[in-house]
Structure 1
């Protein structure tokens, strides 16, 4: 316990304690703000301040001019009364001495007592001055430590502020950097997506173009394949039956029916050849006769079996031949071979073959290379095939149909002067029609 603590009662200690030295006032003075201090404490405090701004240590009230210190007479009297007038509780004498070993105030009688014998004893004034000196040294050290602490605190505060400022600047830089990177990435993404779309569109156009070309090529190849398949099928049938056909040489004459012959064709005496006539033959106009096209039917019809004909003529002549129902029209556009659904024809024009049926004319890929060609009919199978008979047998076309009427051979000639057709195979400028064999349906 501090040596002055016994001099003041507990209820007055707070009121009589200096907030600087934390001890009972010594020569107390009061500032204009109302707070009191030891004269020596406030004086040293203001003397040690670097800045010439004086403030109250209790409330921090600032004074423009250093205040003049005036004794707090009331406090001074109270302190003096408590400190110096207090009596020893044992001997009822004034406490004048201080025992350094027991750290207590004693009176003159206590000093002589056995309890304090041999102890270091000082007067209260001496002890007080020594105590003040010690407190002064401690206060100096504490003041220095506080100043160092304040300086360190100030440095730390400055460092904290600088760290905060640096962190804010770094955060701003990072934000700007990320924003820039994001903008560049977005721009790059847009350019990349645009380029991808452009490339996709370009490649798609190219692919679509290739697809279109390949589709066209596919269709063309399909048509060629279909044609080749038809020709192959016809060739197989022809080859299968050619041995029988060519092995049987019992010809049956096929004669042209003069009652169906147009008045602008001339028939041979044996009714096996025909040619263009510029002179009207004057034949009677009957329902069976062709009126608008130079055509003629055979007198015999075929309603079953397999049949094969060979015809020959000029390689440069223009003609069309085939098979027709007897119900084919005799007048009008529908009476022409192939321009209806009742006749099937193969024609030669400008050294090219063409086929015609149901008003659909199709140019064949083949060029003419022979004066002879063959026609094969399988009535029950609904197959009508045309062949060119040269060094090799070349299939030209096969019609597939369901025949509902008997079929007649039909031919047409054109008005060119060299278009002479006859049934004699020896004539190089004539078309020959002869029936080599008639096969009955296979069982």
Structure 2
């Protein structure tokens, strides 16, 4: 039985075979042991640990099923082999298979236990130690590893506990926030529906009331017109009489028709303007909300299809240009609107503020559309419907750039420059300071990077006007939200010694 048991042991680990494999020389080893043994080979050749036969290439390991099954049966206790308290075969009977001597040494080179004869014949030049010493070293190593594993196990269990706790907290917090958000959405939808119904009733009710007032005013005007026609008939007939006494008597009885002023108020228009402005702001907020909740892929698709894209270049990249191209609108300055100190050149693509007089230019023609006091100029093109994008370069950061209705005042003083009235919107650029202006209200912008190019994106339908430094989406400066009701004209106020070039 002992002889059979020895034949079922691996010559490397001296334990019963674990997944026994056979190499070409016919010897058997645990697959893990022989592979680990060959990993330690210093030479390129592979050597059998028992017979020392060398192989030029790493041998193919063939599984020995019979030895593996027999070893597994013994380990399972089916063969009735005496064992140590650990359940493994006793160490005291382990002898060298070749020399039948006690395995009392350990070869560090081949990482196997050997006898004294093996030490002289096969492992003379190798580093060796006693089995007891090797055991102590391995015990210390295993104890150290065991402590590290225990420490890692504790840390891992702690991390698992923390992660589970965080998962629970995150789940609870997400549920709370989701409930709050959905409740707010429902409330918002209900509020919007109520506002829509009340607006519809307002329009319908006010429309009927105004219609009745208009009909009444129309009737009064028609009666007044009829009274004036009768008045003219009487007076014309009286002018034909030759009897002075009759003229005097009849003239005293003729009264001039009087009409009480009953103009129809236009409060409805003011209320609807407020509604359209508020709706424009709401649309801007819902657009931002939609962008925030989009997936990254959907965001990229939407950016490419509906508006200016993100960019990480200092100027508009070729890829951005392709995306901007569908919205790019070529512009040109309108010399008829240019202040006398603003010179237009380069096929109306460049405007430059120079301290010159009209006489030095040979005189400027009188134009009702020319700005008289403000250093301003409009573009020829009117923008309405759809989306439009354009850019402007400037030599020095002292300009106002924006849009205006055609009705902007041309003879106003500098106090009523671009952005100071209700018909213009602009971005003020002064060094590295920026402000947005509309109707005299200033909105200071915290951005402090200095730009010499501004990109403008107008979505007329949605009522948004956005400004971007260097034409880059990530350099967004400001967006106006307004329900535009008239065509818009790109507009500029140009500081002294500053030139602006349309792109």
Greater length-normalized contact order (CA 8 Å, ≥ 6 residues apart): 1
- Give TM-score, length-normalised by structure 2: 0.35
Is the radius of gyration larger for structure 1 or structure 2? Answer: 1
- Give TM-score, length-normalised by structure 1: 0.40
Structure with the larger helix share: 2
